Structure 1
Amino acid sequence: MKIKTSILILLTVTTCIFTGCEYDNFSEPTSTLSGRVVYNGEPVGVRTNGPQLELWDDGQELSAQFPIHIAHDGTFSAVLFDGEYKLVRKANSPWLPELTDTLVIQVNGHTEIDVPVQPYFTVSNSSIQQNDGTVTADFTLNKVAETATLDNVNIYFGKNMLIDDVRHDHKTSIPAADITIDGTNSITAEIPATLSSLGYIFIRIGVKSTASGELYYTQVQKINL
């Protein structure tokens, strides 16, 4: 009897290995949550794989947490099951920590949301022009948070559009003392020789507050040379 029972168990295990047991067949998520991190309805530029959002699923037996990576242009996307989730705006970002940092989201099919944030600083009215090997960036630097202190402003150059304080081919940094806050600024920077022969370059402006290791970025611009 013991021998027959052992054989039956062995056959059952072998069948599961080669054919798959029914309890292993889980459906994959098919719904999507996509959106933007925004200020005043405009997307906030960030460092790729830098600032993150956190998604919590309290519907599991054990509460599950998923990181949501934000793209350089302030957009994000995730594939999920339908249900209720909590979205958390994490700290060490180019925006103020939120006292109520959790947003409750109902995902059903394709769901789109805007996640509002309050940056320390923003850049508006930006215009970037090139002339004879130099780039001139005109912009208005806006102080959004009253307690914010400006660290510096950077202009990033790259041969690829994914450029930020980590990924770039060249960076020109301007100290806070040379920047007019809540006013217009005009900065001129030389295009490095390593990029001038490409026929084009990608450029963006980054603004750093002393309160965070992450910068607020303008959207990437492609400049023909």
Structure 2
Amino acid sequence: MKNSKYFIIAAFVVLFLSSCKKDNYDAPAADFTGRIVYRGEAIPVEFDQVPFELWQSGFGNNSAIRVSVAQDGSFSAKLFDGNYRLVFSENQGPFLWRKNSAGRQDSIALNISGSKVMDIEVTPYYMIRTPVFAVAAGKVNASCKLEKIITDAANGKSIEKVTLYTNKTQFVDGNNNNGIQELSGTAIADLNNLSMSVNIPTMVPAQNYVFARIAVKIAGVDDLLFTQVTKLSF
């Protein structure tokens, strides 16, 4: 009985030490940062709605690491050193991602050895050019031009709508806004001359500034293309 008692105690000690060893593994320390870009220009999107995936073989782990993209098109992730494959899921983002010879989503080989900064090049369906925001007579007025980047018949798409959003905080999108005006794609006569306006609502508590951005909804594409957020004082 005494030997059995000592054996049980020893087993508990081994299990405890094993548990502590697992809990004391080093956390990922490498910073992987960058932007989603087209020809060096960041692609603004809706916060946390256009993630990409990092896959790492081995270690008994076949799941992907999901990396969020911020409103301004930037991203940041903490990783272990090693080799990864970077890929966007099918139909993810207001852009086309590269395809492999089989016509499937291609991936980028990525080696992490210490911190790494890298921009990820994509091909957007459109780009929003020369956005201008101004406040006058209790309204936010905005104008811009749209450049169609993908023009071939197989992949080119039309515009479903263009929207001006305002909000009292710097998070501005379809779910976070206090003012909105939509312009239907069928109502757009000239891609080089778009204008919209939104009444500035009463805000509680009161503040003398508002944030604004323009979004483009592309037909058949879930994720919107945005301008950067602009702060306007009045």
Q: 1:133 aligns with which of 138, 158, 165?
A: 138
Bigger Cα displacement from structure 2, 76-85 vs 187-196: 187-196
Distance in 1 between residues matched to 2:61 and 2:70, nearest whole Å:
29
The residue number in structure 1 matching 2:215 is 206
Q: 2:226 aligns with which of 217, 220, 225?
A: 217
Deviations 1:108-156 (A, max 9, x none): 1110111111111210111111111122212111111222110000001
The residue number in structure 2 matching 1:172 is 181
Distance 1:224 1:139, change over 3 A: same
Query: More strand by proportion, 1 or 2?
Result: 1
Structure 1 gap segments, 5+ residues each: none
Q: Identity percentage over the alignment?
A: 27
- The CA RMSD over aligned residues, in Å, is 2.3
Deviations 1:152-204 (A, max 9, x none): 00001100101111221221111112224542322233223448952000000
Secondary structure of 2:64's match? Answer: strand
The residue number in structure 2 matching 1:80 is 79
Q: Is the 8 A contact 1:159 1:201 kept in 2?
A: yes
Q: Is the 8 A contact 1:58 1:64 kept in 2?
A: no
Q: Is the 8 A contact 1:89 1:98 kept in 2?
A: no
Structure 2 gap segments, 5+ residues each: 101-105
Secondary structure of 2:124's match? Answer: coil
- Within 5 Å, give how 1:105-120 maps onto structure 2: 105-120=110-125
Q: Is the 8 A contact 2:180 2:198 kept in 1?
A: no
Bigger Cα displacement from structure 2, 179-188 vs 202-211: 179-188
Secondary structure of 2:171's match? Answer: coil
Distance in 1 between residues matched to 2:205 and 2:195, nearest whole Å:
21
Q: Is the 8 A contact 1:94 1:209 kept in 2?
A: yes
Deviations 1:68-123 (A, max 9, x none): 11111111111111111111122232112431431111111110111111111210
Alignment length, in residue pairs? Answer: 224
The residue number in structure 2 matching 1:143 is 148
The residue number in structure 2 matching 1:163 is 172
